[in-house]
Amino acid sequence: MKESELTGQKLWEDYWEKKENIKTSKRKSLLFFEILKTFDKYLPDKRGLSILEIGGGQGEYLLYLTRHFMYLAHSLDYSRIGNEQTRDLFSKAGLPVILYERDLFTDNSDLPKFDIVFSLGLIEHFENSDIVVKKHLELVKPGGILFLGVPNYGGIYRPVLKMLAPSVEETHNMETMNIKNWSSFEEKLSMKSIFTGYIGGFEPLNMKKLEVRTVLNRILYFFTRVLMVIFSFRMQFLRRFNSKYWSGYMVGIYRKL
C-alpha cells in the first residue's frame, strides 16, 4: 500500500509468515470476542449480503461473519502469505471466499461494490487516515455499511509502550487513537455514524510488547503479563466500562449515504 504507509508490504509478509504455523484458536484474547459481540450488535442479520474485509490476513473475523450471518465472503490484501492463510482457513471450513491480492490504492474500479466493508487494525498504519477511509468507502454500495476498528495505544498505554516498544509510535498514526478525530470522516465523506466508540475495557494485551530489554522494562513486561491473567479470569466484569484512557479498542460503524 502507498499513501504514506507507516509500515510496508515486507513487514506484513514477515508478520503473517511468523503466524503461519500458530494455532490461533488457542490464542484468542477476550478482545477478540468483544469485537465479535460488536459485529453481532450492529451488523445486519441478513443472509446473502456481500462482505469485503480489507487487510484481513488470516481471515478469522471474516470466517466468523460468513458462518454467523451467512454473508458472501470477499477479502482484499496485498500479502500473498495472508491470502494463502485466508484461503486455507475457508477451505478447511468448507466455505467459499473470493480473494483479491492487490493494493487498496491501485485502480479497483473493476471490483464490485459490497453491502459491508470492514477492516480491523489497518487505517492507523497510514499518516493520512482520511484517504484510507475514502478508499474503503469507494467499495461500499450506497446504503451499505463501513465498519472500522483500531487498537487503542493511547491513554494509559502510551507511556508504557514508549518504554517497552518505541516502534509502536513509528508504525501507528496515534491521532487515529482518539475517537473524536473520527468525526472528520463524517464531515468529509458521504456517510452517517451508526456507532463510534471504545470497546473491550482495559486490555493489558496492548502492552504485551518488549523491544528494549532493560531490567526495568523486563519487570514492567512481567507485570503486564500478570495483569493479563487477572483481567482474563478474575476481573472480566470491568471490561464493560470504557474510556479513551483505558479501553483496548475503538470502532466506527457508518452507513454510506
What's the mean pLDDT in 145-171?
94
What is the C-alpha to C-alpha distance for residues 99 and 111, in angstroms, rounded to an integer?
11
The confidence score (pLDDT) of residue 143 equals: 96
User: For 177-199, what is the mean pLDDT?
Assistant: 89
Q: What is the pLDDT of residue 253?
A: 96
CA 72 – CA 96 distance, rounded (Å): 8
Q: State residue 142 phi and psi, 5-degree precision.
A: -55, 130
39: three-class secondary structure by DSSP: helix
Q: How many CB atoms lie within 10 A of CB 22?
A: 10
**pTM, rounded to two decimals:** 0.88
Question: From its phi and psi, is residue 155 left (phi > 0), alpha (psi between -120 and 50) or beta?
Answer: left
Q: Average pLDDT, whole number, for the chain?
A: 88
The burial of 196, by beta-carbon neighbours within 10 Å (0-12 exposed, 13-18 middle, 19 or more buried), is given as middle
Q: In b/e form, how buried is each residue of 119-131, taking b as 16+ CB within 10 angstroms?
A: bbebbbbbeebee
Share of the chain above pLDDT 90, in %: 67
pLDDT tens for 48-92 read 999 999 997 789 999 999 999 999 999 999 888 889 999 999 999
Dihedral class, residue 113 (left if φ above 0, else alpha if ψ from -120 to 50, else beta): beta
Task: Return the ∠ at Cα 145 (arms to 47 and 244), rounded to 5°.
Answer: 120
Contact 214, 175 (CB under 8 A): no
pLDDT band at 151 (very low <50, low <70, confident <90, very high): very high
With a cut of 50, say whether residue 12 has pLDDT above it: no
Residues 150, 123 contacting (CB under 8 angstroms): yes
Is 60 exceeded by the pLDDT of residue 167? Answer: yes
pLDDT in tens, 94-132: 999 999 999 999 888 899 999 999 999 999 989 888 899
Which amino acid, residue 251?
V
The fold of 9-152+173-201+241-256 is Rossmann fold (3.40.50)
CA-to-CA distance for 146 and 80, rounded, in angstroms? 25
Question: Above 70 in pLDDT, residue 198?
Answer: yes
Cell of 209: 510488547
153/184 Cα distance (integer angstroms): 20
CA–CA dist 176, 9 (Å, integer): 21
Domain limits, the chain: 9-152+173-201+241-256
